[in-house]
Structure 1
Amino acid sequence: MGLVLKHVERTKSGSWQYRRRVPKAVAEVITKREFKRKLGESQKEALAAYPRYHAEVEREIAAAEKRIAAGLAALSPTASDREAYAEALRRRADLIAAGATEDAMANEADAIAASYPEDEYEPVGVSPVDRHTINVLRLGPERYTPPAATLSDALKLYLKERVGDILDNRPADLARRVVGAAIDALGRDPVVSSLTREDARKVRDEMLDRVKVRGRGVGGKVSPATVSRELTIIAAVVSCAKDELGLPATFVNPFSRLPVARVAKGRGVKATDKRDPLPPEVLKAVRHRVISGAGSDLALIWRLLEGTGCRIAEVTGLMVSDVDVSSEFPHIRIEGNAVRSLKTDSSRRVVPLVGDALEAAKEALKSAEGQSMLFPLYGRRRGSDAASAALMKHLRRVTDDPKHVIHSLRHNMKDRLVLAEVSSLDQNLILGHALGGVGDRVYGGEAARLRATTRAMQKAMSASA
C-alpha cells in the first residue's frame, strides 16, 4: 500500500515530495506559486520529514492570513492612527524582507504619493495608512515615530491584554460602552498622556447626570455606585496603557481614586440589603409556576439555581462535559468557556449536586444528548439574559418586591448554609466567593474539597426540608 499523506506525491524518480499550491487568499503576501520540498527517498524518510515541514507551511499561511487581516483592519473607517502607523511599519518590513534598499523604499514612497492628486506642495486626500507609509519609507521609524496613543487605542490594548476574546464577554462589552461614553463626554478621543484630572471630573459629572432608560428605576438618575464602577473600568484601561505603552513615570492616572459621591460611614446601602432571599411562600409559588408553566429548559435551570446557589450565567453556560452525575460525589464544574466568562477567579469551582438539583442535572443531560451545551436554547451569547428575563416574568406574577429577583436564590442558599452552621470556607467554595487566607486558596485537593462541600450541601438542604 502506498504512502497517503496530504500534499505528498511520488516523483518520477521514485522519491517523495511535498507539493502544495499557495492559497489564493494569501497570494498577495506569499508571492511564490507553491510550497515544494523533497521529503526523502523512502516512505520512512518522508513520514519522518512530513510533520515538521507541513507545520512550517501551516504557520506561514496562518501568518499571511493574520498579516492580511491586520492590513484590512487598518484600512477600516474605525481604525485608529496608531493602527494605520502599524500597518505602514508592516509594509516597510515586507519591502525589507524582499530585499528593498533605502533608495527602492524611497521610490516606493514616491510612487504611492504620485497615485494621489497634488496641490502645490503635497498629495491630497491621502489615506492614513498611505500617509504613514510614505513618511516611514522616506524617514524610517527612528525619525518618523508612532502617533501618541489615544483612549481608543488604550481600550483596544486593554481588551487584548487584560480581558481576552470570548463569545459572551460582558466585561469587554461594558468596557467598550464605558470608554465610548467617556470619549463622548470629552468631545474628543484624547491622547492618554494628556488626560487631566479636569477631564476625569468632566466624565464623572456627565455620567452622574445620565437618566436610566431601562431596568429598575427608569427615569431616575444613574446611581453613584454604578458610576463608580464605570470609572474604575476607565482607570483600569488607562493604567493598562501606562504599563504596556511605557508612558512616563510622572504620568498620574487621573481616574484613579476619583471621588464620586461621599456617603457618611454607616449610612450607605449594605450589599446584603440590595437583594433579599425569597420568602418560603414566594419561593414555593414561583417554583410551582416555573415547573408547571415554563419550558422544560427553564424549569431545569430554576431547579439547578435553587439547588446549587449558582449564578444564572454559570448554569445557562454549562457544557454537557461540565456535569458529572455518576461519580461518588456528583457535581457541576464551573469554568469559563467560549459562551460565557466568569465573574471572578474564585468563581471557578466544583459545586456538589444533591437532592432535586441532582435529579434536574440528570434530566438535563438526558435532554441534551448529542449536544455540547447542557441548555442549547440558552447556552449562547446573552442566553443568561434571556433565561433571567423569562424567569423574572414568573417571579413578578408572585411578588413585586424589587429586592426579589432571580439572584435572590443565591441568598436563599447562603441562608441555608448559615442556618446549617456550615463553615465559612465551605460556604465560599460552594458559592464561589473569595476565599480567605493563603491556606484556604492554595492547599487541599479538589477531591477532598468536593467531599466536604457535598456533606455541607446535604446538611444544608436536609435542614431546610
Structure 2
Amino acid sequence: MKTITLKYVTETKAGSFEYRRQVPVALRELLGGLYEFKKVLGRSETAAIRAYPAYHEFVEKQLEEAKRPSPKVATIETIRTTMDDWRDAVARLKALGIDPTGPLHREYDGAAAYAEFTPADALAENWQVRDRADSIAFGMLNSNGNAKPPEPTFVDAAKLYVKTKVDGEGDERRKRQRVDRVTDIIKTALGKDPKLCDLTRPHAREVVAEMLSSEISPATVDRYCNDIRAIISFGIREFQLERRAINPFVKIDIKGLRAVEKADRDERNPFTKDQLKASRAYVLAHAGPELRWVWRLLEMTGLRVSEATGLEIQDVVTQGDLPHIDIRFNDIRRLKNKASIRKVPLVGDALTAAQEALSAAAAAGRAGKPDAPLFPLYGRERGGDAASAALMKNVRKVVTDPKVTVHSLRHNMQDRLIAKGVSEHDRHLILGHSRGGEADRYGSDEARLVATTKALKLSFDLS
C-alpha cells in the first residue's frame, strides 16, 4: 500500500483523495472571491498521484498570476463623456459672456425680417476648434440657443454617484475602486458607455454573462450587480429619468448563485467546546495585546471583526449600569448595513477587555482624543482584514477544520443565545441582523440595551 505524501492532499471520509488549498486573503478578490482550491483527484492513491501534477501546476499558476500587478483599469476620472464636453463648452461660453442655455437670437415675426447680428455671431466668426468641447461650443454659437444637455450615460451616473456618495467617506478608496471596476465591466461587456435610457434587460444579461465567462464567481458577480444597480438607480433619480429609463439589473438572475449561497451557509462551523478553549488559550498566550482584546470582545459579544477593530474610544462606554459598545458609522470604517447600527452590551470578560483597552489608551495619551481608534494597529482601512488574518494564524495552530474560522465566533454566539431561549428579535439586536417590519421602529435605545444585556448575561450564566 502506497503512503500518499502529496502536499495539500488528504483522504476524505468517503475514501477519495482531495486537493484542498486555501487562497491567501490578499488574493481572494483578485481571484473572483475564491476562498480555496478544491478538487477530488481520484478514488485511489495511484489515481491521485497521476492527477496531482497537472492540478497543482494549475493552482500555482493561478496564484502566481494573481500576485502580478494587474493592468490599470481606467478610472471614471479619466473617462471623458459627452456630458463632460457639453459642460465644458457651456462653461467656456459663459466665461465669455454668452449663456447658450438661454436664447441667443431675437425672434422676429414676418418673413422679411433680418436677423440681428449678436455677440454669439461675432464669436462664431472667429471661433477656433481645438477639442470636442470647442466643437460643441461652436455648434451652440450657431444655434438659436437654449442648449440642452446630452443624454446621461452610465459613466455620468457613476461620476455623480462618487461625488455625492463616496467622496470623503472612510472607505473612499475601496468604494472608488469598485465603481471603477463595474464601470470597466459595463463598457467591456456592452462595447460602449451606454445611455441610461437605452439600457435594457438583455443588456443586463449580457453583462452578467460576460462576468461569468471571465471566471468571476457568482457571489462576486452578485456584489458587482449590486454596485451597478445602485449606480443606475441613483442616475435615474438624479437625472430625473423615472419616466424614460428602467433599472434592468433589478432581480437579475445569476447562474450558480443559489448553490454558492447554500455553500456559504455551510461554509463555517461554530467552534466546538474544546476548539474554543484551545483557541482562546493560544490567542491569549501568543497574540499581541490588541489582538487579545479584540478576541475577547468577539467571543463575548458576537461582533464582526471589522466592527471591533473599527471602534473609536468614544464608542466604548464602561461606566454606569449598562456598559456597552456603540456600533455606528465612524471615520475608521463603515458598517455592513443599517441593521448593524446598534448598542452591544459589555458583560463579563468583554467588559474587562474593554476597560483594559481604554486604560492602555489613556496610558498612551489618547484618552483626550475621543475619535482616536481604540486599537491603533487595526483602526484603519482594511484593519479588520489584517486582524482577522492575524487571529486565524493563531487559531490554525490548534484548529485544523477549514470550516472553523474567526467568524465562527458569531455562530457560537448565535447558538449560545438560542440554547438559552433568547428571542429572535433580541438575537438580531445583539448580532446586528435585520429585524424587519415594525420590530425596527419601536423601543428606545435604553430599553433595547436593557433587554440585550439581560440576554447576554443569561447566555453566559452571569448574575
* TM-score, with length taken from structure 2: 0.70
Match of 1:254 in 2: 248
Q: Using a 3 Å threshold, how does the CA distance of structure 1 residues 175 and 263 change in structure 2: closer, same or farther?
A: closer
Contact 1:182 1:203 in 2 (8 A): yes
Contact 1:167 1:339 in 2 (8 A): yes
Equivalent in 342, 348, 351 of residue 358 of structure 1 = 351
Match of 1:159 in 2: 162
Partner-residue secondary structure (3-state), 1:350: strand
Task: After TM superposition, list the pairs within 5 Å mapping 1:84-103 onto structure 2.
Answer: 84-96=85-97, 103=118
Match of 1:28 in 2: none
Q: Does 1:281 align with 2:281?
A: no
Listed one character per residue, the Cα deviations across residues 314-336 of structure 1 (whole Å, up to 9, x for unaligned) are 11111101111112111110111
Q: Does 1:306 align with 2:299?
A: yes
One-letter amino acid matched to 1:152: V
Equivalent in 226, 229, 232 of residue 232 of structure 1 = 226
Match of 1:323 in 2: 316
One-letter amino acid matched to 2:455: A
Match of 1:191 in 2: 195
- Measured in 1, the distance between the counterparts of 2:459 and 2:418 equals 8
Q: Using a 3 Å threshold, how does the CA distance of structure 1 residues 351 and 76 change in structure 2: closer, same or farther?
A: closer
Match of 1:335 in 2: 328
- Measured in 2, the distance between the counterparts of 1:78 and 1:262 equals 33
Indicate the RMSD between aligned Cα atoms, in angstroms. 3.2
Q: Does 1:378 align with 2:378?
A: yes
Q: CA deviation at 1:231?
A: 2.1
Match of 2:152 in 1: 149
One-letter amino acid matched to 1:86: R
Q: CA deviation at 1:447?
A: 1.4
- Measured in 2, the distance between the counterparts of 1:194 and 1:406 equals 46
Q: Using a 3 Å threshold, how does the CA distance of structure 1 residues 253 and 436 change in structure 2: closer, same or farther?
A: closer
Q: CA deviation at 1:454?
A: 0.9
Partner-residue secondary structure (3-state), 1:255: coil
Q: CA deviation at 1:106?
A: 5.5
Match of 2:285 in 1: 292
* Count of paired positions: 365
Partner-residue secondary structure (3-state), 2:333: coil
Q: Using a 3 Å threshold, how does the CA distance of structure 1 residues 423 and 391 change in structure 2: closer, same or farther?
A: same
- Measured in 1, the distance between the counterparts of 2:217 and 2:78 equals 35
Q: CA deviation at 1:308?
A: 1.1
- Measured in 1, the distance between the counterparts of 2:360 and 2:260 equals 49
Match of 1:56 in 2: none
Contact 2:340 2:432 in 1 (8 A): yes
Match of 1:181 in 2: 185
Contact 1:312 1:384 in 2 (8 A): yes
Contact 2:157 2:231 in 1 (8 A): yes
- Measured in 2, the distance between the counterparts of 1:388 and 1:82 equals 44
Listed one character per residue, the Cα deviations across residues 228-259 of structure 1 (whole Å, up to 9, x for unaligned) are 33223322322222222233635333323322
Contact 2:395 2:405 in 1 (8 A): yes
One-letter amino acid matched to 1:433: H
- Measured in 1, the distance between the counterparts of 2:457 and 2:286 equals 29
- Measured in 2, the distance between the counterparts of 1:226 and 1:397 equals 30
Partner-residue secondary structure (3-state), 2:194: coil
Partner-residue secondary structure (3-state), 1:421: coil
Match of 2:239 in 1: 245
Task: After TM superposition, list the pairs within 5 Å mapping 1:120-135 onto structure 2.
Answer: 123=129, 126-135=130-139
Match of 1:415 in 2: 415
Listed one character per residue, the Cα deviations across residues 144-171 of structure 1 (whole Å, up to 9, x for unaligned) are 4323222211222333455664021455
* Unmatched runs of 5 consecutive residues or more in structure 1: 1-74, 115-122, 212-221
Listed one character per residue, the Cα deviations across residues 400-451 of structure 1 (whole Å, up to 9, x for unaligned) are 433222221111111111111111221111111112431x222221112111
* TM-score, with length taken from structure 1: 0.70
Contact 1:368 1:376 in 2 (8 A): no
Partner-residue secondary structure (3-state), 2:460: helix
Contact 2:332 2:373 in 1 (8 A): no
Q: CA deviation at 1:224?
A: 2.5
Q: Does 1:207 align with 2:206?
A: no
- Measured in 2, the distance between the counterparts of 1:390 and 1:306 equals 16
One-letter amino acid matched to 2:88: E
Match of 1:406 in 2: 406
Q: How high is the sequence identity, in percent, across the aligned residues? A: 41
Partner-residue secondary structure (3-state), 2:379: coil
Partner-residue secondary structure (3-state), 1:257: coil
* Unmatched runs of 5 consecutive residues or more in structure 2: 1-75, 105-117
- Measured in 1, the distance between the counterparts of 2:77 and 2:183 equals 20
Match of 2:7 in 1: none
Contact 2:218 2:260 in 1 (8 A): no
Deviates more, 1:229-238 or 1:370-379: 229-238
Q: Using a 3 Å threshold, how does the CA distance of structure 1 residues 442 and 197 change in structure 2: closer, same or farther?
A: closer
Q: CA deviation at 1:94?
A: 4.5
Q: CA deviation at 1:263?
A: 8.1
The structure, 1 or 2, with the larger RCO (C-alpha pairs under 8 Å, 6+ apart) is: 2
